[in-house]
Amino acid sequence: MIRFTVNGEHLETNVPPETPLLWFLRDNLSLTGTKFGCGIALCGACTVHVDGVPMRSCSTPVSSLNGKKVTTIEEIGRTPVGKAVQAAWIAEDVVQCGYCQSGQIMSATALLAKNKSPSDSEIDAAMSGNICRCGTYNRVRAAIKTAAALPRLRLKPKHRGRK
């Protein structure tokens, strides 16, 4: 059994240990906000946070997650930074097809959580692993700067105890 939390929920699972987290989230938990783009950690569409660090879930085996905390796009809006990032994304009208945006937002949130005012080159470094085929990059950059300037609201964490 592998035990970890997803969005605050404690889970234990016996899926084959090499199963990528992406497919565990999508197929086992029906958390489909995390997207499949390439399967080899090249496009960033599947980005989630593992203990706050952005990770490509398509290349993260479930076996590596024992005792760890996974946060996905479905939950990121419950963090102050994530909420600010989502608001900025709407303010800057970033999305087009929207498919890559879960991953873009997860990468941007991880960046802003540790760097309140990133420079352009810091944004480049944090975001260059996320491909957008619609070409929304300039608006992504603008939204990160907008989010950096937004007040970070304190939010009540959601508590869920289901095993």
Partner 1 sequence: MITTKRESNSKINRRDFLKTSAAASGGLVIGFHFVTGNKVANAQEPPKPNVAPNAFLRIARDGSVTVQVKHLEFGQGVTTSLPMLVAEELGCDWTKVRAELAPAAPAYAHTMFGMQMTGGSSSVLNSWEQMRMVGAAARTMLVTAAATKWKVAPDKCRVENGVVIGPANQRANFGDLADAANKLTPPEKIALKEAKDFRIIGKSTKRIDAPAKVNGSAMFGLDVTAKQVPNLHVALVKRSPVFGGKVKSFNADKVKGISGVTHVVQTANGVAVVAKNFWAAKVGRDALEIIWDFDGVAKPDSAELRKAYLDIAKTPGAVAKAGNVESLKTAAKTVTAEFELPYLAHAPMEPLNCTVNVSANGCEIWVGTQFQTVDQGAAAQVLGMKPEQVKINTMLAGGGFGRRANPTSDYIREAVEIAKGARVPVKTMWTREDDIKGGFYRPMVAHRVVAGLDSAGKISAWDHTIVGQSILAGTPFAPMMVKNGVDATSVEGVSDTPYDIPNMQATLHTQQGGVPVLWWRSVGHTHTAFAMESMMDDLAKAAGQDPVEFRRAYLGKHPRVLKVLNTVAEKANWGKALPKGRALGVAVHESFGSVCGQVAEVSVEGGQIKVHRVVAAIDCGLAVNPLTIAAQVEGAIAFGLTAALYGKVTFKDGMVEQSNFNDYPILRMTEMPKIEVHIIPGGVSPTGVGEPGTPPIAPAVANAIFALTGKRLRALPFNADDLKVA
| Cβ distance to partner 1 smaller for residue 68 or 106 | 106
d(CA 87, CA 56): 24
CB of 102 to partner 1, least distance (A): 5
Q: Up-side HSE of residue 91: CA atoms within 13 Å toward CB?
A: 16
Q: Which residues contact partner 1 by CB under 8 A?
A: 15-16, 19-20, 23, 26-28, 30-40, 42-43, 45, 72-74, 76-77, 86, 89-90, 93-102, 105, 123-124, 127-128, 130-141
d(CA 57, CA 46): 5
Tokens 């949130």 map to which residue? Answer: 109
Pairing outcome for strands 47-50 and 9-13: unpaired
CB of 51 to partner 1, least distance (A): 20
| Cβ distance to partner 1 smaller for residue 51 or 122 | 122
CB of 24 to partner 1, least distance (A): 8
CB of 44 to partner 1, least distance (A): 10
| Cβ distance to partner 1 smaller for residue 39 or 80 | 39
Tokens 């994304």 map to which residue? Answer: 89
| Cβ distance to partner 1 smaller for residue 14 or 117 | 14
In Å, the largest CA–CA distance within the chain is 44
- Of 86, 101, 148, residue with least CA distance to 120: 148
